[in-house]
Structure formats: C-alpha cells, structure tokens
C-alpha cells in the first residue's frame, strides 16, 4: 500500500511538472504544440489522480477561498457560453483552467510530493536565471538588454522570477531554522541572489516595485528570525543591492533599470508604464461602459480593444495590462468582484493562521507563498500575469501549498463529499468532464495546426494541399474556427482579380458566390473580424458586371467597418483612400492616410501607406509632409533591417515565432 502511494505521488508530481515545463514554450515556434501538451497533461494529471484512488471522497475545508476560486472558474466557463466567438473563448477557458485546476487538485485530492516539486522547481529556476543573465550580458543584439526568453514578454518572465524569489527566500529562512549543514544554507542563499539577478535582467520595473514592499513585509513579520540571522540577511540585502547597481553596467547603456524605475512616476510620453498604460486603461474603460455587465467572453479583449483604442495610442496592446479590469471586460462586473474577494479571503485566512501558528517554521511556510502571491497580485495591475500559462500553473501551485499549510494550523471543519459506491460509476462521472473538455480542446488545437499548414501551403502555391488543410481545419473545429475561411476567401478573390482566366460570366458568378459564402461564415463565427469586412469590400469591387449585389454592403461601408474594428488594418485604409481619390475627394484621402501613420506597425505593408501618402504630398506640394514621410520610411526601413539581422542570428529561428 505504501509503495503504491509512493508511485502515485511520483507520477502525479511528474505529470504536473511536465505540464508546467510545457507551459514555458522553450521553443516559441512550437508554441501551439507546447500549449496543447500543457493543457492535456494537466487534464491527464487530474484524471490520473481520480482513477488511481480506490475510494473517491473529498474532504472539503469550509473556506471562502475554495468557494470563491471555484466561483471564478465557473464564471470563466459561463462567459464562453455568451461569447460572440465561442471558439476563442473555449480555448481561453482551457488556458485559464491551469490555475484553478492546479489549486483545487493539489488542495482537495493530491497525492503529489510538494518537497519533490519544490526541489525540481529550484533546478528549473536556476537554469532560467542563468539563461536570463546570458541574454542580458551576451545576447544584446537579439534581446536588446532585456531578458525575456523562454517567455515572450520580459514582464512575464520577471513575474515568474518574483514567485521563485519568494519561494527561495522562504526556503532559505526555513533552512536556517532546520538544517545544520551550512553548505546547504549557502546554496539556497546563492539561489535567492541568482533568481533576483534574473529578475533584474528582465528590466521589469513593475515586477521589482511589486516585490519590494512584499519583501519588506516578509522581513518585518519574520523579524525574530532576522535578528537571529542578521549577518545572513545583511549579506542578502547587500548582494541584492549590488546586483541592482551592476545592472546599469550591462551592454545596453540606454534605458537601464535604475532609469526605468525613476521614470515610472515621471509620466513622460515615451514611458510606456505610466503614459501608454493610462491610454490603454482609458480605452478599456470605454469597453466596460459598453460591455461591462456580462462581459465579452474570456480571451476576447484583443478583438474589442482596437475599436475603442485612443487616437493618441501609438503602441496598442493585446491585453489591458491590468488583469482586474480585463476580467471586467471579459467576465462582466463579477470578474473583478471575485478577483478582489479572493484576495481579501486569502489575506483574512493568512492573518488568522499567523496568529494561531506557534511554530516559526509554520509561519515561514504560510508567509512565503502569501508574499509571493501578494507581489504577483500587485504586479498584475500593470501587466497580464493571469494571461500567461506558466504563471497560472505556478500561482495555482503556490496557492495550494499556502492553503494546505494554513489548513494544518487552522484545522477548518471539513465537509466530506462522497460519490456512488460503484467504482466504475464514480470514476466515469468524474472523468467525463475532463475527457469531453480535453477532446474538444484537442480537436480545436488540431484545427489551428491545419490552419497554419494551410497558410504555409497557400504561400508556397500548393493549392490542392491548401484546400485539404482548410477542409480539415473546418471539420475539426466543428465549423467554429473563422481563420480557415479567411484564408480560403483569398483564392476566389485572386481568381476574380484575373477574370480573363475564368470561363465566362457564369463561372465568375460561381466564384463570387463561393467567396460570399466564406465571408458570411466568418462574420457569423466572428463578428469582430476586420478582415471579413475588408474582403467584403474587395469582393464588391471585383463583382462581375450585371451581378445583383444589393444585399451586400457597399465597398466604402465595408472598409469603414473594417477600420472601425481595427484602425491598424492597412489594406482597408489604402482601399478606402483609393475610393476617395476616385471620387475626387483628395483631402479626405490625405486625412484618412494621416490618421494611420502614427501607429506602430509590424508588417512590411506599412511602407505602402507611407509611399501612398508621400505621393499625395508631392502632388499637393506639401514639402513638410514629404519630409515627414521620408523620415518615417527611413525609420521603418531601419527597423525592418534590424529585424532581418535578428532573424539571421543563429539562435533566432529556435527562440522566436515567425
């Protein structure tokens, strides 16, 4: 029996660790595969624990923390049901589930070995911190002085290091209390400094500013241990101070960590944390005023934001950079309410446990994850921690570790939940939600895979394979993925651009109808698709002569709708400008193009925008405008050259998506 439990514990721990490691997306070009593995592994983890337990019964502590986290998870699921784009929201639900699943399974029905997982995580964080320092000091050409890989964003990596820093700090204080071997304490001491160095290498001021008050709180509450081991702690403070100071001597002289921290409160125009985020939050508030009661559905913020984006916002974003208000957008008013209610419940339970705990070691085990989660929560008000998969895994684990430790102290009354006596019935009932969700998720992921393959086939001109992948993508998504239709419509549009290659007017009409059907599917599945409106405009302009298209929006209106949904849609902006020019509305065309030049574009077609406006400035004799366009074209070309140089860097193809 003991041997069986040990085997269950090892397998359980390894499954969760494998899921967490997959969530790091070590090779970003394989991100879809890693995402799929991470979610399927955590579902497999939950299923394995249910299946391996001979008697299924849960001892549920009577705690608001559990009820509120379960309520937030339920709210996320319900948001998928009223989302305009179910396909996206369902994938986002599976993504978000990493946190509540990790918490609930570790808390209620866990056979994992926390000690084993913590030691394994210490190895992972050691490797991550060393790699971050390598990025900072030796790969400046690729990372521009801010470590970010394996995560896509340096702030997300900093948040990961922040969680690891508190874990290592608590482990260090615990070792000082329990371990006689000073070498072990010294190793953990080195781990604390190394993780802090990794955080500094990311250049994330938000993570650092959230960490400092929580670290101070940790030191104040544990002052008795600090006094006993003041030499160690003084060395730690000096070490962290030196690391912070030495970061200014990295290979990138501009935008050092010290300068970034000082500029945070300056509200300079170039300061993204203070200036750009304020514009993001203003735009997000406008979304809330329109959709804030029930929300738009989990994972859909990026589809709604462009419509409400402020004209002065040059950077844009896929996230609100403030998770509580993004929850408000996507989940409705209950989203931020539950977020803060969970935080209040955690604080209340922590205070009660700290008052009751008499053992110093217990206090360390309670306060360590609490301070880590507190810093995590503070930081998430200026970033998107709850929209990073690896952070969700780790936050769920730390919350479970904290809860189980507080439960040992508080001994909260338990409610026993039992299931029907027949083992087959028990396990089937509990496994069905895991299996059904995993099956739908896998089907959707395979749809994304075939969509990506279809895109590759289209770019290489392999139209037969392209069609096969589009059909398979549609089938696997149960006709719920709009992206294959967007790709598919480009083929009939290309044919309509060359009518001389078609077999007469009837053939043209058939091709037109096919494209129209594709676009109707897109708008039914995703009414927020700017590309669908753009292609509708193109379709109208390419309509065969004599075809009745009165039931289709006119081209001008279609392009205007596309720009309303996404002001950065260059194709729609250029096409609408052409319509204005055809109608001899040159001033309107110039004004329309001017509205688009202030945005930061990441695609090469931005040059077409600058070139077209330059031509109009030449025609109208606007020399100031000509000089500005030449300057923008040069700047954009320089950025393209830098990006191409990065792509030729030996590590680039392996670390970044194309």
Is the predicted pLDDT of residue 530 greater than 90, yes or no? Answer: yes
Reported as type and span, the H/E element at residue 59 is strand 57-61
What pLDDT is stored for residue 259 in this prediction?
Answer: 63
CA distance 385 to 341: 18
By CB atoms closer than 10 A (0-12, 13-18, 19+), residue 387 is buried
Q: What is the mean pLDDT of residues 179-186?
A: 77
Contact yes or no for 562/306 (Cβ under 8 A): no
d(CA 506, CA 552): 19
- Cβ atoms of 496 and 537 within 8 Å: the answer is no
Taking CA atoms, 527 is separated from 292, 307, 408, 455, 584, in Å, by 18, 13, 51, 22, 32
Q: Which residue has the tokens 């403030």?
A: 322
**pLDDT above 60 for 649:** no
Report the range of poorest mean pLDDT among 106-110, 406-410, 484-488, 630-634: 106-110
Asked if 104 contacts 66 with a C-beta cutoff of 8 angstroms, the reply is yes
138 pLDDT band, cuts 50/70/90, is confident
Instruction: Give yes or no for a contact between 593 and 613, defined as CB atoms under 8 angstroms apart.
Output: yes
Tokens of 511: 């091709």
Q: What is the mean pLDDT of residues 375-395?
A: 96
Name the pLDDT band for 59 (thresholds 50, 70, 90): confident
CA nearest 366: which of 377, 356, 376?
A: 356
Q: What are phi and psi of 17, to 5 degrees?
A: -65, -40
Buried/exposed code over 334-366 (b: 16+ C-beta within 10 A; e: otherwise): bbbbbbebbbebbeebbeebbeebeebebbbbb
**How far is residue 605's CA from residue 603's CA, in Å, rounded to a whole number?**
6
Range with lowest mean pLDDT among 46-55, 130-139, 552-561, 606-615: 46-55
The larger pLDDT score, comparing residue 378 to residue 6, is at: 378
* pLDDT at residue 197 is higher than 80: yes
User: What pLDDT, on a 0 to 100 scale, did the predictor assign at position 658?
Assistant: 38
Pick 182 or 14 by higher pLDDT: 14
CB 184 within 8 Å of CB 178: no
**Mean per-residue pLDDT, 338-347:** 98
Is the pLDDT at 424 greater than 50, yes or no? yes
Residue 8's pLDDT is 72
Assess whether the previous peptide bond of 3 is cis (omega < 30° from 0).
Answer: no
CB 84 within 8 A of CB 528: yes
Residue 652: both structure tokens together: 């680039």
User: At how many degrees (to 10) do helices 64-81 and 86-96 cross?
Assistant: 160
Averaged pLDDT, 559-565:
94
pLDDT of res. 4: 44
CA 220 vs CA 227, 251, 588: distances in Å = 11, 36, 63
| The residue to which tokens 């969509």 are assigned | 451
**Could you tell me the pLDDT band of residue 1, with boundaries at 50, 70 and 90?**
very low
Segment among 242-251, 417-426, 499-508 with least mean pLDDT: 417-426
pLDDT band per the 50, 70, 90 thresholds, residue 111: low
Percentage of the chain exceeding pLDDT 90: 60
Q: Reply yes or no on whether the pLDDT at 588 is more than 80.
A: yes
Residue 269: predicted pLDDT: 46
Q: What was the pLDDT predicted at 137?
A: 85
The mean pLDDT of 439-463, rounded to a whole number, is 91
| Bridge pairing between strands 414-418 and 57-61 | antiparallel
pLDDT surpassing 80 at residue 133: yes
Q: Which residues pair with 60 in a beta bridge?
A: 415
Residue pair 85/523 in contact (Cβ under 8 Å)? The answer is: no
pLDDT tens for 22-42 read: 999 988 778 999 999 999 999
Instruction: Decide which of 415 and 422 is more confident.
Output: 415
Q: Who has greater pLDDT, 313 or 653?
A: 313
Task: Tell me the mean pLDDT in the region 524-546.
Answer: 90
pLDDT band at 255 (very low <50, low <70, confident <90, very high): low
Query: Residue 498: pLDDT above 80?
Result: yes
State whether residue 61 is helix, strand or coil: strand
Average confidence score pLDDT of the chain:
87
State the average pLDDT over residues 57-65: 83
CA distance 571 to 540: 15
| Dihedral sign for Cα atoms in the order 378, 384, 386, 391 | negative
Res 230: pLDDT? 85
If residue 555 lies in a helix (H) or strand (E), which one and from where to where?
helix 555-565
Rounded Cα distance, 379 and 375, in Å: 6
Whether residue 125 is predicted with pLDDT greater than 90 in this model: the reply is yes
Give residue 108's pLDDT.
80
Please return the burial class of 634, using the count of CB atoms within 10 Å of its CB with bins 0-12, 13-18 and 19+: exposed
By three-state DSSP, how is residue 585 classified?
Answer: coil
């Amino acid at each position: 029996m003991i041997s069986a439990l040990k085997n269950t514990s090892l397998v359980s721990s390894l499954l969760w660790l494998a899921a967490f490691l997959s969530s790091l997306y070590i090779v970003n070009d394989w991100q879809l595969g890693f995402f799929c593995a991470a979610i399927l592994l955590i579902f497999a983890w939950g299923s394995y624990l249910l299946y391996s337990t001979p008697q299924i019964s849960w001892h549920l502590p009577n705690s608001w923390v559990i009820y509120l986290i379960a309520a937030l998870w339920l709210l996320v699921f319900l948001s998928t049901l009223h989302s305009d784009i179910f396909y996206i929201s369902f994938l986002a639900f599976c993504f978000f589930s990493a946190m509540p699943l990790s918490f609930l399974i570790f808390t209620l029905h866990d056979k994992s070995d926390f000690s084993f997982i913590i030691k394994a995580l210490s190895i992972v964080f050691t490797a991550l911190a060393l790699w971050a320092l390598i990025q900072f000091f030796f790969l400046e050409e690729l990372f521009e002085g801010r470590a970010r890989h394996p995560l896509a964003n340096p702030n997300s990596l900093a948040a990961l290091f922040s969680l690891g820093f508190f874990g290592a700090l608590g482990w260090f204080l615990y070792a000082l209390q329990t371990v006689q071997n000073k070498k072990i304490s010294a190793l953990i001491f080195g781990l604390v400094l190394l993780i802090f160095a990794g955080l500094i290498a990311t250049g994330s001021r938000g993570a650092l500013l959230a960490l400092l008050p929580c670290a101070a709180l940790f030191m104040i509450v544990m002052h008795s241990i600090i006094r006993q081991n003041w030499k160690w702690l003084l060395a730690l403070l000096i070490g962290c101070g030196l690391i912070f100071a030495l970061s200014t001597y990295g290979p990138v002289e501009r935008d050092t960590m010290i300068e970034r921290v000082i500029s945070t409160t300056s509200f300079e125009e170039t300061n993204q944390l203070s200036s750009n985020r304020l514009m993001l939050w203003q735009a997000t508030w406008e979304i809330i005023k329109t959709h804030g009661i029930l929300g738009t559905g989990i994972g859909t913020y990026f589809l709604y934001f462009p419509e409400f984006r402020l004209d002065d916002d040059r950077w844009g974003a896929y996230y609100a950079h403030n998770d509580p208000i993004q929850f408000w957008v996507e989940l409705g008013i209950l989203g931020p309410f539950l977020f803060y209610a969970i935080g209040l419940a955690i604080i209340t339970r922590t205070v009660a446990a700290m008052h009751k705990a008499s053992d110093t070691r217990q206090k360390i085990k309670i306060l360590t994850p609490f301070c880590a989660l507190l810093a995590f929560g503070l930081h998430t008000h200026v970033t998107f921690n709850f929209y990073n998969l690896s952070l969700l895994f780790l936050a769920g684990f730390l919350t479970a570790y904290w809860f189980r430790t507080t439960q040992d102290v508080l001994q909260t009354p338990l409610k026993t939940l039992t299931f029907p006596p027949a083992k087959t019935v028990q396990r089937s009932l509990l496994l069905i939600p895991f299996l059904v969700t995993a099956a739908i998720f896998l089907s959707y992921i395979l749809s994304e895979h075939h969509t990506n393959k279809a895109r590759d086939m289209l770019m290489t001109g392999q139209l037969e394979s392209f069609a096969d992948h589009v059909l398979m993508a549609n089938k696997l998504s149960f006709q719920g993925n709009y992206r294959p239709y967007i790709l598919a419509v480009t083929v009939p549009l290309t044919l309509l651009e060359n009518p001389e290659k078609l077999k007469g007017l009837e053939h043209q009409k058939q091709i037109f109808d096919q494209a129209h059907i594709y676009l109707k599917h897109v708008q039914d599945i995703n009414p927020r698709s700017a590309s669908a409106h753009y292609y509708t405009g193109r379709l109208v302009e390419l309509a065969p002569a004599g075809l009745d298209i009165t039931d289709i929006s006119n081209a001008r209106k279609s392009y205007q709708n596309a720009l309303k949904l996404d002001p950065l849609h260059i194709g729609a902006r250029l096409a609408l400008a052409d319509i204005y020019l055809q109608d001899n509305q040159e001033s309107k065309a110039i004004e329309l193009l001017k509205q688009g030049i202030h945005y930061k574009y990441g695609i090469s077609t931005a040059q077409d925008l600058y070139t077209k406006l330059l031509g109009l400035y030449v025609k109208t004799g606007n020399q100031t405008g000509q000089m500005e366009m030449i300057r923008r074209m040069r700047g954009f070309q320089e950025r393209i050259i830098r990006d191409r140089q990065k792509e030729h860097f030996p590590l680039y193809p392996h670390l970044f998506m194309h």
